[in-house]
Structures are given as structure tokens and as C-alpha cells.
Amino acid sequence: MGVTNMTQPVYLGIDISKRTLDIATVDRYIGQVDNDDAGYEQLLKQLASLGQLHIGIEASGGYERPLLKYLLTAGFHVYRLEPARVRHFAKSINWHAKTDKIDAQLIARFVQTTGPRPTSKPDKNAEKLRVLRDRRKQIVEDRVREQNRLESCDDASIRRMINQSIARLQKFESQLDAQLTRCLNKSPKLKAKAAVLTQVIGVADQTAATLLAHLPELGTVNRQQIASLAGLAPYAHDSGRYQGKRRIRGGRAAVRTALYMACLCAVQHDAVMRTFYQRLIAAGKLRKVALTACARKLLVHLNTLCAQAQALPGKKAAGA
């Protein structure tokens, strides 16, 4: 059962923990169910008579994903919210107490008041790509840790163990690379996007996979929005005659890291990006500030290419 035919909007907040879900509307607490399949079925029965639902849930370190997928599949309007935004909202309305019940009501009120952008149902292949990409990142980090341990280890038996561990992790890394390639090839849409992205100097297969996995909005929003989503938009900090430094904040760290590394290559091998970078350095910008500006410029370019490729299917994107 999905959304009922009642037209009156009802704003619902669900506070998610590892084992339970607390449910509330703006003005009343509804109850608690388990955070599992049986709990989802029970939740669905409770929601059936509430009207046209707008459901807010906070990002909770991955614990929200099964519920999010379940609710989207059932046809509800769902909003995955950034916890910091909800907490700042609570301070703005002078809500200082914090319990699971209160948080559920707070989330409902946040959705009602701010009207956030609804979360779209994730593409199955894109979701699989994200899982594979995240796991590969974990394996690479583990391998680097083991390599660092090897450098300072002088015991022969321990060195053998570390070398075995490194070899095992390298094998996992190769397997994940192959799975990522297969995942991209399964989806014509993702494969076409990856082909557009990798035409740009500095963007190789792993950078493209990261962007596709963690920035599905690429090519569907404007330049300001895509920079903000990646955490590369500079925000003003001015007041009266005071003009503070523009700073970036928030956004998706995985995307930002991938673009930063891509720019280290682009400023050396791409004439346009190298000229832009050198002009910023000559103007007195710090190197990291200049590289961040280059990362934003690269992202906007990639966003434009993807938008053009989607608008003109079957044709090569202009500027690629």
C-alpha cells in the first residue's frame, strides 16, 4: 500500500537508530517500531490512514538506507535530511531538549517549514556503483596503512604477515575494479556518462566512478547547485564594511577529494586549467585555494558536458 487518496498534506518525522524507528507528526507522537522488515510493514499499516504524507528522515550513517528504499518503493514523498540543518533549525525555534520522540517531531516540523527537495528513488546500478566504490576506498585505505606499517617494522615474521596482508588487499582491490567496470557496462546511462567524463584531462576511471556514485545530480542541476553539492561553492562572510574571506563548507567529501586529486593532474597537463591555476597563483592566492578553484571549475565543466550529452543523445558533447 502506498499513499492514500486523501489530499491533506501530513508532515511526518522518523527518528532512526540502529534498532528502532520513532514516528511523529508535527503535533503528536505516533509510536515506535523496529528498524527491520517487520517494523517497516508495521509502519506502513500505521501510515495508511494519515493522508498525503511528506516523510522526513535524517541521514544516520547508513542506517536510514533500507527504510529510505522501502518508503520510496512504496510511493511516498521522502526527504533525506542533513542532521546539522535539523539541529540548527531546532536552535532557531528554541528547542533545546533532545530525545528520540522530540527529534521525530522536530524532523516533521523541519519538513513542513522549510520544504526541502524530495529524495528521488536511486537507480539500482548507481546504488551498486556507490557500494562498490565505497568498499574499494576502504580496501585502499587498509592497504596504505599496512604499507606504512611495513616501513617501520624490523621483525622478519611480522613483515611476512604484513606482506601477505598487502597482497590479499591488492587482490581485493583488483576484484573490485573488475566489478566496478562490469557495473558501469550494465547501465548504458552510466557507461555513456563515464565516457563523457573520462574525455576530460585529469579524470580517469576511478574519478569518474566516484562522481557517478556520489554525485548522481551531475548534468541535471545548474553550476551553482553542483558546486554547492560538492562543497566547492565559496560562501561570503561580510558584514557592513567588513569583508571576510570566502570559504567552502559542507558538501560531499568523496567528490571533493576526487576532484582535488584530478586537478593535481589537470593543472600540469591541461593548457586551460594550467593557465587558470597560474593566474590565481600570480594574483597571490594560496596553492590550495587555487587548486580548490580549479576543482570547482573542473566540476562545472563536467556538469556542462553531462548536461549537453543528455540533451543531445547520440551526439558527442560540445567541448568534450
**To the nearest whole percent, how much of the chain has pLDDT over 70?**
95
Closest C-alpha to 78, from 102, 59, 62, 92 = 59
* CA angle, 220 then 72 then 304, to 5°: 5
The set of residues, in sequence order, having a beta carbon less than 8 Å from that of 93 and lying 6+ positions away, is 109
Per the CB < 8 A criterion, the answer to whether 248 and 231 are in contact is: yes
Answer whether 227's CB lies under 8 Å from 304's CB.
no
Residues 258-265: what's their mean pLDDT?
94
Q: What is the mean pLDDT of residues 216-241?
A: 91
Domain segments of the chain as ranges: 9-114, 124-186, 187-320
CA atoms within 13 A on the CB side of 287: 3
Nearest to 262 by CA among 209, 214, 204, 216: 204
**What is the number of other CB atoms lying within 10 angstroms of the CB of residue 79?**
21
pLDDT tens, 135-180? 999 999 999 999 999 999 999 999 999 999 999 999 999 999 999 9
Nearest to 208 by CA among 291, 306, 65, 319: 306
Q: What is the pLDDT of residue 295?
A: 96
Q: State phi, psi for 126 to the nearest 5 degrees.
A: -65, -40
Which candidate, 218, 129, 139, 134, places its Cα nearest to that of 181?
129
pLDDT of residue 204: 93
Q: Which pLDDT band holds residue 237 (cuts at 50, 70, 90)?
A: confident
pTM here?
0.81
- 3-class secondary structure, 10: strand
**According to the model, what pLDDT value does residue 7 have?**
67
**pLDDT per residue as tens digits for the range 172-218:** 999 999 999 999 999 999 999 999 999 999 999 999 999 999 999 99
Helix (H) or strand (E) holding 80: strand 77-81
Q: Identify the helix (H) or strand (E) that includes residue 185.
A: helix 156-186
Q: Which helix (H) or strand (E) holds 14?
A: strand 9-16
Which distant-in-sequence residues (6+ apart) come within 8 Å of 215 by Cβ?
A: 226, 229, 230, 252, 255
Residue 44 contacts residue 137 (beta carbons within 8 Å): no
CA 3 to chain CA centroid, nearest Å? 27
Rounded CA gap, 183 and 154, in Å? Answer: 42
pLDDT at 60: 86
| CB contact at 8 A, 257 and 230 | no
Rounded to an integer, what distance in angstroms lies between the CA atom of residue 260 and that of residue 9?
A: 43
The Cα–Cα gap between 123 and 217 comes to 12
pLDDT tens digit string along 37-94? 999 999 988 888 887 899 999 988 888 989 999 999 988 999 999 999 999 999 999 9
Average pLDDT over residues 312-316: 53
Per-residue pLDDT band for 312 (boundaries 50, 70, 90) equals low
The number of CA neighbours under 13 Å toward the Cβ of 204 is 9
| Cα 209 from Cα 99, distance rounded (Å) | 39
Q: Quick one: DSSP state of residue 235?
A: B
Asked if 25 and 105 touch (Cβ cutoff 8 Å), the reply is: yes
C-alpha cell at 236: 561570503
Say yes or no to pLDDT of 319 above 70. Answer: no
Q: What are phi and psi of 25, to 5 degrees?
A: -95, -175
Q: What is the CATH number of domain 9-114?
A: 3.30.420.40
